[in-house]
Structure 1
């Protein structure tokens, strides 16, 4: 494996590269991670079995797409490839620390808002299906946001659960309820990070850095809703975002269905405690007042 990584880096830069040291890093539920060094250079390397190569290539495409926006900083993609048994993704190595503790929250809030305003896409989805965690995320282009999210996000996750023998709601009924909740909402398609929690953003010496995306073009509120799901970001982050591009007053009405997507995905991935949380969220969504009854 190490020889294949050396060769891929050498081919990328057109100069010989030899690994002098490699250190395994802790953390991560899916991939093994290493820092490698040699020729006075350091790189971050993700490793998995050989069948994982396509996912690494998809991740590289998404990182490059985010970087193309010139709004948020991402690690530079160096190369990807495989050996006889392993697949790997080589990225720029960046020294990182907690975003909140480093004081970069306000700056990142403004950067994320600028990302969400970037581009002129007219439909929702992406050219490629990708993965959120270890779950396939379909991204077929659609012009109708309520249909896209209710079918390709909530309906998809519920169908995956059903195939595992977990049936917590009538799928068609839930799809229709989510569709109705989003029916009158036609947001400008924004390029999303797609998996925006504390573990996928940090602070470097040159500013905030995001990584491990699950990107597609959708409602910007999806990214914000996830930042509030597994422990909200620092308040300065939300201030920075609002100063750059304030959220619609009806965001709070849509937030539960956007957060449900990630809870269903965690239920698919990890099971356990997420079953009762998903059931509770679905029950609340299915029985809440209609949007017309909410104060304007």
Structure 2
């Protein structure tokens, strides 16, 4: 521990007054500590500086900084330092149950975060979700073997979210689940059917929103009357994705979150019927990470998405 605290302190240019273990997840150590200047921090440390955790730390730092740049969005932990070996962020606390009004305020904050927008679907950095790589590359509708004249380039359609979601979120994890033999053929065929109809199931076109990307209930901390999103897989995406993630594992006071959101920025008609569509990616991630136990829930979401109804 002393060598780790010394290395991080030297990299930050300020020593630790205290650093202690706080658990871990996905092969990453979690620690809490206090810097010599009195700031309380949360530390993630990888097993080795050349491992996958290095890319994950960079992705999380990029995401936190990008989310923090949205005017009126929810508060996010400040990034204090990041390297191939560690990520140091502001420690949020003390934790509390959402007090009255906090959930509604978080919904309004989230709406403003999404409204800050993004240049494209995707992000300019490689992403991670849990311990899995996340391809954030925007789609290019121009064929690789041709370059259109300026007039054609100016008038061509940009790739929409539906195509991007299928190519960058559903297909890679469907392939991974199959390769790991973690998904029965029947469930895989249901996801394939969704992908085949993705254009008609995705709803009206929307511009890229600035989204958290992994906003399940455990990634929202409640402190000082505010909801603080943590552990982002941030990218330019569809705003309904964050709301569907909140619903997936039962965020507290979800109805109030949605009330605050829609009072600030209305949602497109039919958004409730599209919740299962947006839940397919995180469920595929869970199949890849944890196996067959999530296959029935994935199958149910795929069937609901195809039927155009809320799961």
How does the TM-score come out when normalised to structure 2?
A: 0.81
The match for 1:124 is 121
- Residue aligning to 1:294: none
CA shift for structure 1 position 206: 6.7
Aligned to 1:151: 167
Once the two structures are overlaid, the 10-residue window that deviates more, 255-264 or 166-175, is 166-175
Corresponding residue for 2:60?
A: 59
Q: CA RMSD in A?
A: 2.5
User: 2:272 — aligned with what?
Assistant: 252
Following superposition of structure 1 onto structure 2, how do residues 81-160 of structure 1 map, counting pairs within 5 Å?
81=83, 87-98=85-96, 100-101=98-99, 103-119=101-117, 121=119, 123-142=120-139, 143-160=159-176
Residues 56/242 of structure 1: CA separation in 2 closer, same or farther (3 Å cut):
same
TM-score for both structures, normalised by structure 1: 0.85
Query: Following superposition of structure 1 onto structure 2, how do residues 1-296 of structure 1 map, counting pairs within 5 Å?
Result: 2-12=2-12, 14=13, 16-17=14-15, 19-26=16-23, 28-39=25-36, 40-50=38-48, 51=51, 52-70=53-71, 71-81=73-83, 87-98=85-96, 100-101=98-99, 103-119=101-117, 121=119, 123-142=120-139, 143-165=159-181, 166=183, 167=185, 168-170=187-189, 172-182=192-202, 185-205=204-224, 207-234=226-253, 235-286=255-306, 288=307
In structure 2, relative to structure 1, the CA distance for the partners of 1:129 and 1:180 (3 Å cut) is farther
Counting matched residue pairs gives 281
Moved beyond 6 Å, runs of 4+:
none
Q: Following the alignment from structure 2 to structure 1, what is the Cα–Cα distance between the partners of residues 238 and 193?
A: 22
Deviation of the 1:92 alpha carbon: 1.3
Gaps of 5+ in 1: 292-296
- Residue 56 of structure 1 and its aligned partner are, at CA, apart by 0.6
SS in 1 for 2:221: strand
Shift of 1:99: 5.0
Quickly say closer, same or farther: Cα 1:243–1:173, change in 2 above 3 A.
closer
